Amino acid sequence: MPRWNPSLSRVEVLQRLGEDTLVTHEVTATSPVGRRDFVSVRHRRRAQAAVYLVGTAARLERLPAQEDCVRAETRLSCIALQPLAGDPGCTRVTWLLSVDLKGWIPAAVTDRVLPRCQADFIGHLRRHLSATARP
């Protein structure tokens, strides 16, 4: 992901729990809420034409060393990608996000920053998928 998503500086797969489930350590780039790192378990599932990406904070015996950032936690989150019927070039994205950013950050800041981060992620993902689409 860091190759196509500039909001991440590093992603490391810590453990594979099957073909569709990973434990990862992600470090964000500098942002208005500072640098954060996350240790998460992530699962993907394809159901009919839709793809579901689910993640939550992982509890490990030994956590990766923290970098010069604050450890944050992704509570349960889900991204659902569903093709729109009748329009094969369009996909509906539904994103349920619950994050504990740790440290005191005013609600006005997170209320403004998180939606912008989500929109940026979708834009980066759209460009990545367009660039890697098979003819």
**Cα(86)–Cα(31) distance, integer angstroms:** 38
State in Å, rounded, how far the first CA of the chain is from the last one.
22
Q: pTM (2 decimals)?
A: 0.76
Q: Where are the domains of the chain?
A: 8-132
Strand, helix or coil at 29?
A: coil
Domain 8-132 class, CATH top level: alpha beta
Residue 19 predicted with pLDDT over 90:
yes
Q: For 20-39, how does the pLDDT look when each residue is reduced to its tens digit (9 = 90+)?
A: 999 999 888 877 677 888 89
Q: For 31-79, how does the pLDDT look when each residue is reduced to its tens digit (9 = 90+)?
A: 767 788 889 999 999 998 899 999 998 888 887 777 677 777 778 889 9
Answer yes or no: are the C-beta atoms of 81 and 91 closer than 8 Å.
Answer: yes
Answer yes or no: are the C-beta atoms of 14 and 42 closer than 8 Å.
Answer: no
pLDDT tier for residue 135 given thresholds of 50, 70 and 90:
low
**Cα(22)–Cα(91) distance, integer angstroms:** 25
